[in-house]
Amino acid sequence: MADTKVALITGANKGIGFETAKQLGEQGITVVVAARDEKKSGEAVAKLKAAGIDAYPLVLDVNDSAGFPRAYDFLDKTFGKLDILINNAGVAEPGDDWAINTATTVTQKTLREIFDTNFFGLIELTQTLLPLIRKSPAGRIVNLSSILGSSTLHADPSSPIYGTKTAAYNASKAALNSYTIALAAALKDTPIKVNAAHPGWVKTDMGTSAAPMEIPDGAKTSVLLATLPPDGPTGGYFHMDQTLPW
């Protein structure tokens, strides 16, 4: 087990998270499927095992920090390290309410709910698990961002995202981008690489059926950043092999 890489993916019971676990598992990496619901995590693991992938279930809610030490203990006792952390779990404004999630109308409730998942919970989980990542000879942290977190593109009237000003979601991803830069800088003298991934507009529950990308393609950026070679980038913001502007 010491030579086998271990990856933890949050929100991995469906969508991009599950596909990321599948693609990493197909590369011989042991995957820990983290999800809020024990049944859903177990069902996802059963599917992965049926495909010949070494997978483990883990009940983990990024909004419930009381469970973070239990996640740490499970990883420590089972593997003694963590090679890859993919912070995949995230939320957006539910349903058709994006139109009222604007700079002038967004509510404190919406801001707090989205930031709790996309930013505060993510940071606390990462800090909790960092000692295990430090034990890896080549730790990788991938933060699932979005092109909607690009302040550069949002400020450019000619950019394709200029008209998509969903205040809470966009701000949470911009904040996550900032944290990615800071964490990469803090770990620059270690083998750990930290990057932000824009998966693309993907046909998921969040992306809806209107999205142009299929789920297997949506996982590719996360998988690429999770398996970077020693000379790969850190502190970057990517979609596939394209660097995005902050």
For residues 135-161, average pLDDT: 96
Q: What is the structure's pLDDT at 214?
A: 73
237 is catalytic: no
Task: In whole angstroms, give the CA distance from residue 75 to residue 136.
Answer: 12
Question: In this structure, is residue 225 part of a structural domain?
Answer: yes
Whether the pLDDT of residue 136 is over 70: the answer is: yes
Which residues lie below 8 Å from residue 43, measured CB to CB, with a gap of 6+? Answer: 13
Task: In whole angstroms, give the CA distance from residue 236 to residue 233.
Answer: 7
Question: In this structure, is residue 162 part of a structural domain?
Answer: yes
Task: In whole angstroms, give the CA distance from residue 85 to residue 100.
Answer: 33
Query: Higher confidence at residue 204 or residue 29?
Result: 29
> What does the pLDDT look like over 57-104, one tens digit per residue?
999 999 999 999 999 999 999 999 999 999 999 998 765 566 778 999
Q: Write out the residue range of the structural domain in which residue 19 sits.
A: 6-243
Q: What is the structure's pLDDT at 202?
A: 54
Query: Per the structure, how many domains does the chain have?
Result: 1
Question: In this structure, is residue 80 part of a structural domain?
Answer: yes
Question: In this structure, is residue 97 part of a structural domain?
Answer: yes
Torsions phi, psi of 109, nearest 5?
A: -60, -45
Q: What is the CA radius of gyration of the chain?
A: 17
Question: In this structure, is residue 220 part of a structural domain?
Answer: yes
Task: In whole angstroms, give the CA distance from residue 49 to residue 25.
Answer: 9
What percent of the chain stands above pLDDT 70?
Answer: 92
Average pLDDT of the chain is: 92
Question: In this structure, is residue 1 part of a structural domain?
Answer: no
Query: Higher confidence at residue 156 or residue 95?
Result: 156
Q: Do the strands 84-87 and 55-59 form a parallel or antiparallel pair, or are they unpaired? A: unpaired
DSSP 73: H
| Residue that is written with structure tokens 């977190």 in the block | 149
Question: In this structure, is residue 31 part of a structural domain?
Answer: yes
Catalytic residue among 56, 72, 169, 237: 169
Q: What is the structure's pLDDT at 92?
A: 83
Question: In this structure, is residue 46 part of a structural domain?
Answer: yes
Task: In whole angstroms, give the CA distance from residue 199 to residue 206.
Answer: 12
Question: Does the predicted model carry a pTM greater than 0.75?
Answer: yes
Q: Are 141 and 232 in contact (CB under 8 A)?
A: no
Read off the CATH number of the domain in which 182 is found: 3.40.50.720
- Provide the pLDDT confidence category of residue 227 given band limits of 50, 70 and 90: very high
